[in-house]
Each structure stands twice: as C-alpha cells, then as structure tokens.
Structure 1
Amino acid sequence: MAAGADDRDAHLREATLSSREAYRGPFLQVRHDVARLPDGSEASREYIVHPGAVMIVPLLDDGRLVVERQWRYPHHRAFVEFPAGKLDPGEDVFACAVRELAEETGYRAREWARAGVLHNAISYSDEGIEIWFARGLSPGERRLDAGEFLDVQITTLAELEAAAARGELTDAKTLIGMLWLTHSLAGRWPLRWRDTPRALAGA
C-alpha cells in the first residue's frame, strides 16, 4: 500500500490548505504550507523539497568495504560515508547508482542489488535515499564533479561499527547501510542480485 494511503492513519492525516514556495536554489526548494490538523486546527509546515538520492554499499571480493571521507559544510567537518549522490532530473535510480559509484570512487560493479529506501529527515524534508549494494568491483578512474573533493578509503564492517560505537561515525545513511549489511550477512534481509546492464557497464 502506498505511503499515506492506509485508512488506519485517517485520524492522523493532515490536509494541505495552502502551499507556497519560500525559497528556491540551484539544488533545493523550501516550501511553506498551511495544513489542517486532525482536530480541525491549522498549523504551518515548512519543508525541503529534494530530488531524491542514492547510496551505494560497495563490497570488495574479500569482504571489505569502499567508503569516502568528505567535508560536509553545514557541520564544518569531514564525515565517513558510503558513496552517495542526488538524482539528476529524469534520471533512472539504478543508472544514478551506477554513475555515482564510478564517478566518486572509480569502481565499476559486476552485480547490483536494491535493498530499499530510507527517509532521513521525515520532519522537514521529502528526501528519499535509495539503498543499493554493489559487488564484483573493478577499480578505475574517478570523474569527480567540479567542486567535489573526497578521499576514497577501504575499511571493514567491524571498523565502521567500532567508529560508530565511539561516536565518530554519525552519518545516518551510512549507519542504515551498515544495519542492512549486517542483517543481509546474517540471512535475515536477503538481497536479490542482478548483473549490470551492458548499457551501463561503462558508466
């Protein structure tokens, strides 16, 4: 059933009364809405409209993982993350995952599996991040976007878990990727793998 279509939530539903664009930049849009609440009262709702994104959990043949270290300006610090990137207008989600892995890390994957989607900021953004796994990796040349700077690193799940336990790894999407990987390795959340289409193999 589609999100928001469940009759069990009728007593929680908020109805949009008005909606206007408060800000538009090259990347994000901010909207200001007025909503009718379940008790009949009204409230303002401000939220970010996001084009959507992908995150890739890249698995090397020896079980190690490919991650990135990238500066995130809002926090004024570098974060360890799985490779990720936003969807271009009209871009297929799978094609975006293949493109982002190659552009940011240089790796191309022989096989892919879609895990699911995460909503990382449900109170103030409609962003959804598609989670993909990639294996059968072959190294290649990176093609970073202009103004994009990041380090590619090789690590293990145990090392990432230790960093998370120390409070050093705090990126939400990476933590979810680790959770999905842990359950997948234990056989609880199986993945369905498929080959990289020939049309995307050279991305």
Structure 2
Amino acid sequence: MLDRHARGATTRVFTPVARALLHAGVSPDAVTVVGTLGVSLGALVLFPLGELFWGTLFITAFVFSDLVDGIMAREAGTTGRWGAFLDSTLDRVQDAAVFLGLSLWGFGVGGEPAVGTLAAVCLALGMLVSYVRAKAEALGLTANVGIAERAERLVAALVLAGLTGLGLPPAFLAATLGLLAAASLVTVGQRVSAVRRQTRRAA
C-alpha cells in the first residue's frame, strides 16, 4: 500500500480543500460522484482519441477526489456504511474506466494490441482482486493481503500512460501492464489462501 507518511502528507494538503467544500455546502457524496465522472470522461474519451498525456493529467485532477471525500466525511462526522459503499463501488468504476480506456487506445488509434490485451486482463483481474476481498468480508473473514493494491495499480498505469503520451515507447506501457496483471493474479492467490487458512482454523 502507499506509504503511511505519504498518505498523511496528502491528507494535510487536501484538508483545507475539504473544509472549503463543506463550508460551501458540497457533500462528500457529490465529490465522490463528480470525481468518478471526471476520471471516466478522461479515460473513456481522451485515451481512445490518443491523448494519453492530457488524459492522464485530466484523470489525475479528479483522482484526488477519492481522498477529499473521505476527509470531508470525517470532518463533517458523516462517515458511515453508505459512504463506504458508494466510495468502494465508484472506485471500481474508475478502475474499469482507466483500463478500458487504455484497452481501447491499444486496439484503436494506438495500434498496440499487446497494450489493449494486457489492459483488458488488468481490468478483469483488478475486479477479481476486489471481489475476493469483498466476498471474504461478507462472510466475516479478512482478505486484505496482497502485493497489488488498487492505489499501486492505478498509479503505475497512469504514470506509464502519461509517459507514453510524451513519447515513451509503448513497449514500456505493455511491460508495466503485464507486471500489474501478474501481480494482480498473485494477489488473488494470496487472498484466496488467506481465506482458506481462516476457514480451516474455524473448522
């Protein structure tokens, strides 16, 4: 997961923004929805058009909403199950949009079918990583282990996409997506193994 100190630093940076939005009457849920719309727009419109660099910048501007809405909820004392549910659900939408956008670019104007294929694999495995954890928690178990958390997958994909838009050979993006796919598969295995150990102990 991202370094705890880095998370603390970004929280300090965005706390004034969160407070200003609350003062203006904006709700955390609204920020969550707008952030998801922004990420989806950048990924599904700009990426397929070949604008990887500008698409990455556009997406990055909205990705931080995922941090801001949490700060707002804590500041307002409105953290609860609905907010957690909405945030987690829309996180999956954002992830899907980013990898789908890269896949469309690879199979379309990018002319890089390897990127398109690997991005699609990352999308599927990313959903599976999240599902395994959610299903485990629904059964009263824990599966918060693994080498490929959401933040790392998203950051790696966006950084390489942006650099590709600046002229980096697409082979580097393909290699990164391949590594992310492999790491996601390992994470699924780690989480399944963790759940299996817990069920055996319970039995």
The structure with the greater share of residues assigned to helix is 2
Which fold has the larger relative contact order, with Cα–Cα distance below 8 Å and residues 6 or more apart in sequence?
Answer: 2
Give the TM-score of the pair, scaled to structure 1. Answer: 0.28
Give the TM-score of the pair, scaled to structure 2. Answer: 0.28
Larger CA Rg, structure 1 vs 2: 1
